[in-house]
């Protein structure tokens, strides 16, 4: 008997009808003879609604209390799903993250899983039950409830699959696999039969919402067999694995975008050793992630440099920059929000010259200015203004031969948790 971990996102369980459909799918898997562990997100927009409610009462709610509040969303889902399965004749038990043995580091809002001791899951499976686990949550060694951040339920599912040595981890969402780009923008996007961990990790980091980066990291680290498929159809999904066959003539495998990018520029900095270390060290201490970094030429012993951060972090980053001015003098610091990072990804890019040049030419042909560029062996990213980003995505998709004659399937509004 094989063990399968099945994860369902918020849109999959957003209504009673969808909850019943999910229960039917779980019971069908169980009827095939598999042991089943299910990971579930909060229903629909529950998390956003709870956040809005909290901010009505406290504009700056404490992180600990936010974790206490937000974890209730998943507890509602797991209890209702267990009830639904039982009403259909199945045997199911629901467990919170801490009941399932998920221990995390002592950080609120974006904790990382430190360990999993799944003894209660094993007990439930041994008793012949379907075990339903709340995603997105865990507990510290001191007994504090924590959340794993957006996309945390993906991480919960893959981490449980690794800890349980599951034969398969299925991530159910509103699309029927991993596409070459967002099928809401490019309706004839190409569904991939398989994609490598490294390609998927790049796409996830660069804005593709189908899987969370940390979940892909876990899958790669523990060699978890991972499949992304739709909760609305029975179509075959996309397998994420160590190696994937490349289609002939297809060098770029995917196009991702991130609409929440801000650029910060610091001008007139002394060109001496240690300047960048002081600036970015201070940002790191403040918990601010920096992405693309570009330094311009030196003039009169002074240099300018720019970097990107998430749109949510721009105010905090500017505050840090102002604080370090006493130890790193500069002429001026500015920020620009609302930018978009568009990226192409493909493991075959490293051995195919001209891929980046084609990207630059395609973007410029639309009259769009490229503000910043970042490259690696398997990706090229360009930061642009927001006005024509969808046109840019479509044009790049066509330029790299990714268009198909089939219309992509999208089952409903996408909710990542």
pLDDT digits (tens, 9 = 90+) for 356-367: 999 999 999 999
**pLDDT mean over 232-252:** 79
Per-residue b or e along 356-381, where b marks 16 or more CB atoms closer than 10 Å to that residue's CB: eebbeebbeeeebeebbebeeebbbb
Task: Answer whether residue 85 shows pLDDT above 50.
Answer: yes
Write down the pLDDT at residue 248.
58
Task: Answer whether residue 173 shows pLDDT above 50.
Answer: yes
**pLDDT mean over 229-239:** 87
**pLDDT mean over 6-18:** 93
What Cα–Cα distance (Å) separates residue 191 from each residue in 223, 265, 414? 23, 38, 17
Q: Which of 121, 128, 29, 134 is nearest to 81 (CA)?
A: 134
What Cα–Cα distance (Å) separates residue 205 from each residue in 226, 279, 286? 17, 23, 21
pLDDT band at residue 413 using 50, 70 and 90 as cut-offs: very low
The crossing angle, in degrees rounded to 10, of helices 152-164 and 119-126 is 70
Write down the pLDDT at residue 414.
42
pLDDT band at residue 150 using 50, 70 and 90 as cut-offs: confident
Q: What are phi and psi of 7, to 5 degrees?
A: -115, 130
CA 335 to chain centre: 25
Task: Answer whether residue 243 shows pLDDT above 80.
Answer: no
Angstrom distance (rounded) from CA 238 to CA 386: 30
User: Would you put residue 322 in left (φ > 0), alpha (ψ -120 to 50) or beta?
Assistant: alpha
Question: Of 11-15, 29-33, 80-84, 116-120, which range is least confident?
Answer: 11-15
Write down the pLDDT at residue 61.
94
Angstrom distance (rounded) from CA 223 to CA 175: 24
% of the chain with per-residue pLDDT over 70: 96
Residue 351 CB: number of other CB atoms within 10 A?
9
**pLDDT mean over 237-249:** 76
Residue 207, both tokens: 């804005």
Are 3 and 167 in contact by the 8 Å Cβ rule? The answer is: yes
Per-residue b or e along 131-142, where b marks 16 or more CB atoms closer than 10 Å to that residue's CB: bbbbbbbbbbee
Write down the pLDDT at residue 231.
83
pLDDT band at residue 300 using 50, 70 and 90 as cut-offs: confident
pLDDT in tens, 46-59: 999 999 999 999 99
Task: Answer whether residue 245 shows pLDDT above 70.
Answer: no
Task: Answer whether residue 246 shows pLDDT above 70.
Answer: no
Q: Which of 230, 248, 258, 228 is nearest to 343 (CA)?
A: 258
Mean residue pLDDT of the chain comes to 91
pLDDT band at residue 386 using 50, 70 and 90 as cut-offs: very high
Angstrom distance (rounded) from CA 137 to CA 143: 12
CA 349 to chain centre: 23
Question: Of 186-190, 214-218, 293-297, which range is least confident?
Answer: 293-297
Residue 102 CB: number of other CB atoms within 10 A?
29
Task: Answer whether residue 38 shows pLDDT above 90.
Answer: yes
User: Would you put residue 270 in left (φ > 0), alpha (ψ -120 to 50) or beta?
Assistant: beta
Write down the pLDDT at residue 272.
87
Q: What are phi and psi of 22, to 5 degrees?
A: -65, -45
**pLDDT mean over 290-307:** 88
Write down the pLDDT at residue 127.
97
Work out the end-to-end distance of the chain between its first and last CA atoms, rounded to an integer number of angstroms. 30
Task: Answer whether residue 275 shows pLDDT above 60.
Answer: yes
Task: Answer whether residue 292 shows pLDDT above 90.
Answer: yes
Angstrom distance (rounded) from CA 139 to CA 53: 24
pLDDT band at residue 32 using 50, 70 and 90 as cut-offs: very high
What is the 3-class SS of 301-331, one letter each residue?
CEEEEEEEEEHHHHHHHHHHHHHHHHCCCCC
pLDDT band at residue 352 using 50, 70 and 90 as cut-offs: confident
């Amino acid at each position: 008997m094989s063990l399968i971990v099945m994860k369902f996102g918020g849109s999959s369980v957003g209504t009673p009808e969808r909850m019943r459909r999910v229960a039917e799918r779980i019971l069908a898997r169980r009827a095939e003879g598999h042991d089943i562990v299910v990971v579930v997100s909060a229903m629909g927009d529950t998390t956003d609604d709870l956040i809005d409610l909290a901010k009505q009462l406290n504009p700056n709610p404490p992180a600990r209390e936010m974790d206490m509040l937000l974890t209730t969303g998943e507890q509602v889902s797991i209890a209702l799903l267990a009830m639904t399965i039982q009403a259909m004749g199945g045997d199911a038990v629901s467990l919170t993250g801490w009941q399932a043995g998920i221990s995390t580091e002592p950080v609120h809002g974006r904790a990382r899983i430190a360990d999993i001791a799944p003894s209660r899951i094993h007990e439930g499976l041994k008793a012949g039950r379907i075990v339903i686990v709340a995603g997105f949550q865990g507990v510290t060694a001191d007994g504090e409830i924590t959340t794993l951040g957006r996309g945390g339920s993906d991480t919960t599912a893959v981490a449980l699959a690794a800890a349980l040595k599951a034969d398969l981890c299925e991530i159910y969402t509103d699309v029927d696999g991993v596409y070459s780009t967002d099928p809401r923008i490019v309706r004839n996007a190409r569904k991939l039969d398989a994609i490598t961990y490294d390609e998927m990790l790049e796409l996830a980091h660069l804005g593709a919402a189908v899987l969370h980066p940390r979940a892909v990291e876990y899958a790669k680290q523990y060699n978890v067999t991972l499949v992304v498929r739709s909760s609305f159809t029975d179509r075959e999904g996309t397998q994420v694995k160590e190696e994937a066959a490349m289609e002939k003539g297809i060098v770029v495998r995917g196009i991702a975008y991130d609409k929440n990018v801000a650029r910060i520029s610091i001008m007139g900095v002394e060109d001496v050793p240690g300047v960048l270390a002081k600036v970015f060290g201070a940002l790191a201490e403040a918990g601010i992630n920096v992405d693309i970094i570009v330094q311009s030429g030196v003039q009169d012993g002074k240099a300018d440099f720019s970097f990107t951060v998430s749109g949510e972090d721009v105010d905090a980053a500017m505050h840090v920059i102002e604080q370090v001015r006493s130890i790193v003098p500069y002429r001026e610091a500015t920020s620009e929000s609302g930018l978009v990072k568009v990226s192409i990804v493909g493991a075959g890019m490293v051995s195919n010259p001209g891929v980046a040049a084609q990207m630059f030419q395609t973007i410029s042909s639309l009259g769009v200015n490229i503000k910043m560029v970042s490259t690696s062996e398997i990706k090229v990213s360009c930061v642009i203004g927001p006005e024509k980003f969808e046109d840019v995505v479509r044009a790049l998709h066509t330029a790299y031969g990714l268009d198909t004659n089939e219309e992509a399937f999208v089952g409903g509004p996408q909710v990542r948790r």
